[in-house]
Amino acid sequence: MHQLSPLVARGLLVAGLLLTSLPCAAPARAEVRRPPVAAAGERELTVVNRSDRAVNEIYISPSNTDTWGEDRLGEATLEAGRSFRVRLGRTRDCSFDVQVIYEDASREQQLGHDVCRDRQVAFAGAGAQMPPSVLAAQHTVLLLNDSGRPIQQVFVSPAEATQWGDDLLTDRSISVGDSATVTYHGACAADLRVVFENRAAEERRGLDLCTTPAIDIRPGWTTADTVPAPPAGAPGMKP
């Protein structure tokens, strides 16, 4: 076996010491990808009414808030088949909750709508629900007919509704000086309409049926008007 010269052996020893003194390479860090942040910009949303009834109120708010804010329609009404554009202002938010309230007081919601991807939201009415305050309570109302005319029909509806609903007397009538009870499901605040045998009608708006379970209908109770006879089985409409 050949022996290394002292000079070569010394060189190898120094090289080995240098290699062992080098730091170990650190493992590569995994790249962390952050979700993209939407740039601030003007947001807007077009609400389309594809239902068979009018929308009286529209509420739109960011999904990360707990309040609906103001009615975006204001004094306007969104009729069936029409659309309404709402400007949401300059914001980084993309996810918005939308609620519409129909003319019969039922309401429908779409939550988490991405307005950055889709600037239109449509409501068909299939998911509309009455609020618990409208459906929860049942009221029995006693009507006294002191008007001097037989009463043929009685309609009671929630104060916020725009449809009268069905005749609560059905096939009955209330003769002069007689009385009858009707059952109404809904909130305390309600509107009442009575129709006489000559098709004249009288109304009282904003009644509190929780504190007024008996109503005496007298001449001049409200302003009377003459209404055409509704089709058989058709619900009345509030003027």
Q: How confident is the model at residue 235 (pLDDT cuts 50, 70, 90)?
A: very low
User: For residue 208, which phi and psi values (nearest 5 degrees)?
Assistant: -105, 100
Q: What SS3 state is found at 11? A: helix
Compute the mean pLDDT over every residue in the chain, rounded to the nearest whole number.
82
Q: What is the rounded CA–CA span in Å between residue 153 and residue 49?
A: 33
123/104 Cα distance (integer angstroms): 15
Q: For the chain, list the domains and their CATH numbers.
A: 41-123 (2.60.40.2890), 133-228 (2.60.40)
Report d(CA 70, CA 153) in Å as an integer: 38
Categorize the per-residue pLDDT at 40 as very low, low, confident or very high, splitting at 50, 70 and 90: low
Cβ neighbours for 183, distance < 8 A, ≥ 6 positions apart? 138, 139, 140, 141, 168
Query: What pLDDT does residue 225 have?
Result: 41
Contacts of 72 (CB under 8 A, 6+ apart): 58, 59, 60, 84, 86
Is residue 70's pLDDT more than 60? Answer: yes
Residues 6+ apart with CB under 8 A from 83: 46, 47, 48, 49, 120
0.85 exceeded by pTM:
no
Sign of the C-alpha dihedral computed for residues 76, 209, 231 and 123 taken in this order: positive
Is a pLDDT exceeding 80 seen at residue 56? yes
Span 177-220, pLDDT tens digits: 999 999 988 878 889 999 999 889 988 988 888 888 889 998 87
| Cα distances (angstroms) measured from residue 121 to each of 41, 55, 66, 70, 79 | 19, 14, 20, 18, 15
